[in-house]
Chain A
Amino acid sequence: MQIYVCVKHVPDSAANIHIVDNLKIDESVPFLLNPYDEHAVTEAAALKNQVPGSEIIAVCLGKKDAESTVRSALAMGADRGVLVETEKTCDSMATARALHAAIVRDGPADLILTGKESIDNEGMQTQFRIGALFDFPVVTNAVSLAIKNGKATVTCELAGGRTRTFDLTLPCVIGAGRGLNTPIYPTFPDVVKSRKKPIETITLSELNVPAAPGSTKIVAMTPLVQKRHPQKITGSPLAQAAEIIRILRQEAKVLS
């Protein structure tokens, strides 16, 4: 099986985000492989164990330094990487077109894995757009996956413990959710080995991707800080509980 895993280079979730010119973030913070994509790479590695001879290709659209994220995917089990390099900020429509073009150029895909969303833009849609461009079926927030007889049987979580199980014909696109697996944390030898694995770099302009008919563009950014002024609820547990109930009833009006 030829398994493509789309990975994104995103700011560490613990990083303090500073906004520059009310428009973009200061990028001098640590960047990492998007956490949901870790589940996608881990699943690809598990599938490769089941279907020997499979190849896992990590595909990334990003700036030059996104190479370190591709390298992380290689350390977690991908065989090689493709970095589509651009200095531009691409929205999900443009990103899906670039990833689609990079995969088409590279070879036929049996399976495309992505994370269910990226933790920077939180767009939740690139997987669906890639699927539409290929005309492959798509599911998202996958929490279990089995491949058998040319079909993927996938269980997806809707939240609240609700699930849906699908059969998808291959090739298909699957957005990995957190319940899918426990990400592989690469060992030192894995990291050393990954340094020898090839990463092909292509520029976005080289790919000649046709423009999308629409776009999304950030026009302003503000820090999301809620000015809260904490008030203390003191006294015995009895008094504290009574005050909480009073607040729920009289202030928040959520209890009758």
Chain B
Amino acid sequence: MKQAGIIIEAEHGQVKETSLGVITLAAKTADFLTALVMDGITHEITEQLAEYGIHTIVDLSLPEAPAIRLNPAVRATAVVQAARELNLDRVLGLSSPEGKDLLPRVAALLDAPLVMDCVDVDLNTGLAKTSQYSGKVMAQIQLTGETLVFGVRPNAVPPEPRPVPAKTVVMTENKAVPENITLLSWDNGDSEGRPSLVEADIIIAGGRGLKNKDNFSLIIDCAEKLNAAPGASRVAVDEGWVPYALQVGQTGEKVSPQVYIACGISGSIQHFAGMKTAKMIIAVNKDENAAIMANCDYQVSGDLFDILPEIMKQL
């Protein structure tokens, strides 16, 4: 192996915790780590990257104009150019919402193998671990090829400091927008200020047990109090109580929070597919025989309409 390049995600001028986790994972098997930063480098970002073990910080210097900077084709080309120029033969990033759009583009342009949503990787041997079959199976996958690409599941690895001296390089290649894909507009939704579902430490999710859209606000309010992300089962989405963006499960988001609080959710196989790797599961359910009650760490048997308001009162 020559060098590992890590695509960094930052927010509000800071590297995301989940990205620091990717650095920690890469540092287990790679000696030399390069960070690829797309949206501008702040003093704080430089310090954080050095603190967590990055040797070279590459500023991909994407244009300011959002229509260009946010265009995934432009971003992927910038990463590929840097990977080629710097001889990075391992490229890692997060299987975050952005990563799911970026990493496969990078892999396709490099014609390199990619495994998404890894919970572990060995950059020397090219082995990756990821779940398959709706989270029912853990597969070990051998990647072969000159350059290997890995998407790492957010929160799969807790970040650990590993200070090294870091230098910064600026890459200024042509960042022209391809003619065949134009970003017309972007909407950052109304989740500003709330932790995102895939990155939150705590998720409090609601299902059919909430009964209607109005009641679902109980989950949203509770999430706010706990600084948690609200989540939902498919039923809550299909009934129109919450947008699809909140769905956890096989056909929703796959999440690995520290704590997953499932309220009025029975724990179907498809729901489990999205949250079974949570470190701790707390189930609030009226039915002691619901599937989730046998497959959680704490069973809270009772009515969520009594318990959730009580949690809010006590916080």
Chain A positions near chain B (C-beta within 8 angstroms): 11, 13-14, 17, 19, 25, 35-36, 91-93, 96, 119-125, 127-129, 131-132, 136-141, 143, 153, 156-169, 172, 178-179, 212-224, 226, 228-234, 237-238, 240-242, 244-245, 247-248, 251-255
Contact = CB atoms under 8 A, between A and B. Distances in A.
B184 A153 contact: yes
Contact of B113 (A119, A214, A254): A214
Contacts of A228: 281, 295-297
Given A157-B244, A252-B259, A254-B259, A162 B307 contact: no
B139 A214 contact: no
A251 B281 CA distance: 12
Interface in B158-204: 178-191, 196-198, 201-202
A144 B174 CA distance: 31
Contacts of A220: 139-140
B311 A245 contact: yes
B279 interface: yes
A164 B186 contact: yes
A138 B253 CA distance: 21
Contacts of A172: 180-181
B180 A213 contact: no
Majority secondary structure, A binding face: mixed
A168 B70 CA distance: 15
Contact of A242 (B97, B140, B181, B314): B314
B141 A160 contact: no
A17 B280 CA distance: 24
Interface stretch (B13-21, B35-43, B125-133): B125-133
Given A214-B112, A222-B138, A161 B245 contact: yes
A42 to B, nearest CB: 15
B258 A216 contact: no
Interface of B: 70, 72-73, 97-98, 100-101, 103-105, 107-109, 111-117, 127, 130-148, 151, 178-191, 196-198, 201-202, 226-227, 243-245, 250-253, 258-259, 261, 269-270, 273, 276-277, 279-283, 293-303, 306-307, 310-311, 313-315
B260 to A, nearest CB: 10
A252 to B, nearest CB: 5
A221 B138 contact: yes
Contacts of B136: 17, 223-224
B228 to A, nearest CB: 8
A125 to B, nearest CB: 4
B281 A159 contact: no
A140 B76 CA distance: 14
Contacts of A237: 302-303, 306-307, 310
A192 B240 CA distance: 34
B137 A156 contact: no
Given A119-B133, A216-B143, A231-B299, 9 more contacts: A11-B133, A132-B108, A137-B180, A230-B283, A231-B298, A233-B300, A248-B226, A252-B202, A252-B258
Nearest to B257: A254
B102 to A, nearest CB: 10
Contacts of B145: 213-215
Given A216-B141, A217-B142, A254-B202, A159 B178 contact: no
* Closest 6 A/B residue pairs (Cβ): A214-B145, A161-B189, A241-B310, A125-B104, A159-B97, A132-B108
Contact of A244 (B101, B186, B282): B282
B146 A120 contact: no
A157 B140 CA distance: 29
Nearest to A97: B111
Given A128-B107, A139-B181, A217 B131 contact: no
Given A125-B104, A217-B144, A248-B259, A240 B302 contact: yes
Nearest to B247: A178
A13 B250 contact: yes
Contact of B141 (A157, A163, A219, A254): A219
B296 A230 contact: yes
Contact of B197 (A119, A138, A160, A166): A160
Given A137-B178, A166-B183, A237-B302, A159 B137 contact: no
A34 to B, nearest CB: 11
B116 A93 contact: no
A14 B313 CA distance: 39
A216 B113 contact: yes
A217 to B, nearest CB: 5
A240 B184 CA distance: 50
Nearest to B228: A254
Contacts of A251: 280
Contact of B191 (A131, A162, A169, A213): A162
Contacts of B117: 122, 124
Contacts of B253: 159
B21 to A, nearest CB: 16
B137 A168 contact: no
B132 A233 contact: no
24 contacts: A14-B269, A25-B137, A93-B111, A119-B134, A140-B101, A157-B244, A160-B97, A160-B189, A162-B186, A164-B185, A166-B181, A168-B180, A168-B181, A214-B145, A215-B113, A215-B144, A221-B138, A224-B135, A232-B299, A237-B303, A240-B307, A244-B298, A251-B280, A255-B226
